[in-house]
Chain A
Amino acid sequence: MDFRDQHVDPTVRDRARAWAERHVPPEWAARERATGTHHTPELHRLLIDEGILGAAWPAEYGGSDVDPAFSRAVFDELNRRGLATGAWGSTGMVCRTILEVGTEQQKRTYVAAALRGEVLIALGYTEPESGSDVASARTRAVPDGDGWVINGQKMFTSTVEACTHVFLLTRTNPDVPKHKGLTLFMVPTDDPGFDLRPIHTLGGQRTNATFYTDVRVDDAARVGAVDGGWAVMHVALVYERGAASRSSKELTLARELAAWAADTRRPDGSRVLDDPHVAERIARMAIDEEVARLITFSLRDKVERGELPRATSSMRKLFATTAAQRHYADAMDILGAEGLLSTGAPGSPADGRFEHGYRAEVVTTIHGGSSEMQREIIAEQHLGLPRGRPRG
């Protein structure tokens, strides 16, 4: 057992910080905040040209030889600066899935093109009447000559306004148990039958409802076997829960809050950080953040050895997201009344960063499978417990 290289090397972090300082104008984050679209095309192009995006991807599909640790540190730094790179996030998850289950032609058509910046992919799993129960999707795909015709509706198709494709979960057989009649397709968003309606969220991000009316795709756009979609989803969901992460997934709130508390004085002149109630809570945050990083590290360790660690990916997601929500709630308490002030309000602590985080973090225990789904997976896969709810 060796824990040596799992930490972000401070010199790598400094290099990433210097890189961002040189290349990233503050207007980009302001634009993402104003529009709610978590994608900046100029940044995406830059990350490709610099090889940062292609780090840790296979060379044969356009991967670069940039140090993956530096790449992760850049994505950490972008995130810190309010640049979410959300479109690349979903694109990366789908591309990792295609590398595992797709055809050689699909690896070239989608993965290589994505690494050249020609393809961006949104996730199309959730529907108006199915979220965590993802396998009950009703969007229909029916064979039509040598292709398929798709009709239906999806919800929370985030960043699709910037994407060329949707990775779409469809029902291809309604006459079998629900898990056995699913198929995934790469659906182009320039199809005349595709439409979208923006939805605005508590965290400031724009997401979308998407509509599919007689959308036609070739059979070459099918990922995995006909009616074999559930197996594909197993792979895709493990990647969504952190195994395909572009960043180190480090939580750094403790350090940021401690810096604020060290520089801030109470009306009586005492330093906020010297209040033992504050110190205890920030120490708890720091410990949780270390634990979250270690579980992520262990997940990556397993993926690199060729495992598909379902229970570990659920543990990572469950722990990291519930911890982060607790931390933002603690941060709000510690900040006191001023913690209510949003970005742009006079005197808002850290320019509203904690207040925004408190709102934005809410969704993390919902998307990618709610915490209840993660607990169910851990109970079944890790503890070997019987299914508690009716099987359907």
Chain B
Amino acid sequence: MNSQAKVSRSVPLNRSAYLNCFTGILTREFLRFVSQRSRFLSSLVRPLLWLIVFAAGFRAALGISIIPPYETYITYEVYIAPGLCCMILLFNGMQSSLSMVYDREMGSMRVLLMSPLPRGYLLLCKMVSTALISLAQVYTFLAIALFVDVDPPLRGYLAVLPALVLVALMLGALGLFMSSWIKQLENFAGVMNFVIFPMFFLSSALYPLWKMREASEWLYWICSVNPFTHATELVRHALYLKMSWEAFAVVAGTTLVFSVLAIKGFNPQRGMRGTGGKGPK
């Protein structure tokens, strides 16, 4: 058995190799997710608190007029449910990038990068896997939301699926992009606060944009260019069997831009530890 013989024994990297790789990454993400039940619970508790407690308190304070895609007056719970679905995806996207930084520091990222498949493909697989696993959380949330009378049309649950996938990919790509520029785990916590909260609060997730405009024109402007607003609107419309092309275009475009930036900017050298106690400066 010489090295030449080994070259001929290498597994050909055909289409099935790519598929096997994706399945492997998805399975690992799933197994990790299942083994971290507390993460699943906490990801549900957060939006449920908003839906059940926050919405109950603010129901009286915030009047919602008839706005698309709704055809009648709605309760505040119904209004914020799509935004809370996106909130789950936002936290998951950020959490997955947090795990990328953790993997890089702990060395698991090296295992991924030992694959002979292109690195861009490996990163995409990781992003898509995280997105798919997030969907289970969103649908569990929507099932519980039925108990507070958030009951979109039955077909809406199916129609919203592609919108949720796209939003999850957009936020996953954003997370991946950010993780490429974070040197250490400790720095990441700060960035989370500067990204998650502004993104969520400066969007149409909790209040319609016309309400924001009444308060401040420039806040309204920031909200309307925030991709998270468009993500929320895409999900809101899809859940009620409507299509917002504007939201779709913004979310798809943002996904593409962040994916390209994340893959191009990915550098395993950055922030890597465990190399004899030193790393690149």
Q: Please indicate whether A and B come from the same complex rather than being unrelated chains.
A: no
